[in-house]
Amino acid sequence: MSTVTVVVPTVVRPSLRTLLLALAAAEGPAPRRVIVVDDRPRPAPLDLPDLPFPCEVMRSHGRGPAAARNVGWRAADTEWAAFLDDDVIPSSTWLADLEADLAPLGDDDAASQGRIEVPLPGDRRATDAERGTAALAESRWITADMAYRREVLQAVSGFDERFTRAFREDSDLALRVVDAGWRLGLGARLSRHPARDRGFLASVRDQIGNADNALMRAKHGYTWRQRAGERPARFLSHLATTALGTAAALGALRGRRWAPAAAAAWGVQTARFAANRMAPGPRTPAELADMALSSALIPPVATFWSAVGALRHRPAPRPDAVLFDRDDTLIADGPYLSDAEKVRPMPGAEIAMRRLRAAQVLVGVVTNQSGIAKGLITHAELSEVNRRVDELLGPFGVWKVCPHTAEDGCRCRKPAPGMIAAAAAKLGARPEQCVMIGDTGADVTAALAAGARAILVPTDATRPSETAMARRRATVAADLCEAVNLALGDIA
């Protein structure tokens, strides 16, 4: 498939070789290439099998699966990036099924999710860990087997690398994509995910994921679980159990008469939690011991990591408005552009504006147009060019244009803050709650002088000194889509 690159993030488990051999044996057109992203902190050479398609190894140096996937899709040059975890086994017809899944998708379809099968033991009941793995078969939007359009990943700046574990990064990405107006579909292809023993008290170690849940709340609000198809959280129950246990311990130390009652209530809560977890399992001595001890430890550990996440990840306020420079930011610059037919949006401009409108953020344009004062362009020609920009990328809530030259000493021409303050007032926004996105140091200086945030998107015409200043005093983005995602707080 010349339109697909397969991306496999890995910490180089033995299952990686099994995955690659299964992919090589699968029926269907070969992918353009496979990119294996080695996420070990200290990568060593990989011994990969001979494959019937190009396979490249890249490295993400232990930054987690979100960062590893970003390394992979950004290196791809195909329409689709198909993600596979290194512990899944694609079916014998996976490549053909992937092609069939992608073929009918339209421009509004961002992704196709494969189906995950988790085989469980046939001669006994599943353990708690095995049931946890089996839940993948019912999960929405997991990237164990997920193909995304590359332009969609570009539009939302890919995975949020603050999710450093294999937990929630896929749901976060999917919610951002859905919020931007795209659809996510379910395909027919199948991958198998073997259940594996994760060791004693693995469920306690998993509670670190509560910090990631706090990041999800900060980014998507308290309804994120329902939107992502997740089960209700047990946080309130864990908090109550932890409070009872703490009260019982402190009461006993201080000789309080109510301490035994608190201890009894803690015991009832803990026993009920343990019994619910033991009931569906194999009830072997090892499993019962794990469930009993972990049920006592999970509530305080979950509460601790929830508190850590809440302190670490606070909701980023959405801007009241995002203001843009025009030339070389929204549209390609031309010397005193006067012909509306020559207006060409900058790469990613349409998608960036789509993101802002989906987020219901006000938008405006503030632009220096000294060609008016110099007699190189008329007011009528300028109006036609701006009207064409509105047609292609708008409508914009406000246009502010400075027709003066630098020698005129006006208060509106950037780097003066006049136009930004006036645009904010016109939109009913506070300058300090606005973001200015442009390609020059004047855009950054004007924004900061007005009290607004500034994001620089450098072009070939941007001076290195302007970029260096923006790195010190503001923010620098690789492209317009990344700038918008930074403005919205969707990425850090």
CA distance linking residue 373 with residue 271, whole number of Å: 80
Beta strands in 39-92 (DSSP E): 55-59, 80-84, 89-90
CA distance linking residue 244 with residue 270, whole number of Å: 10
Across the strands, what pairs with 113? Answer: 146, 186
Structure tokens at 118: 């988790």
Q: Could you give the C-alpha distances from 473 to 53, 79, 273, 469, in angstroms and in order?
A: 46, 36, 51, 6
Amino acid present at 224: W
Active-site annotation holds for 325: yes
Active-site pick, 325, 439, 479, 490:
325
HSE, CB side, 13 Å, CA atoms: give it for residue 434: 33
HSE, CB side, 13 Å, CA atoms: give it for residue 24: 14
Amino acid present at 347: P
Active-site annotation holds for 290: no
Active-site pick, 327, 328, 439, 479:
327
CA distance linking residue 205 with residue 406, whole number of Å: 61
Sheet containing 80-84: order of strands: 55-59, 33-38, 4-10, 80-84, 145-149, 109-117, 183-192, 89-90
Contact 311, 211 (CB under 8 A): no
Q: Which residues are catalytic?
A: 325, 327
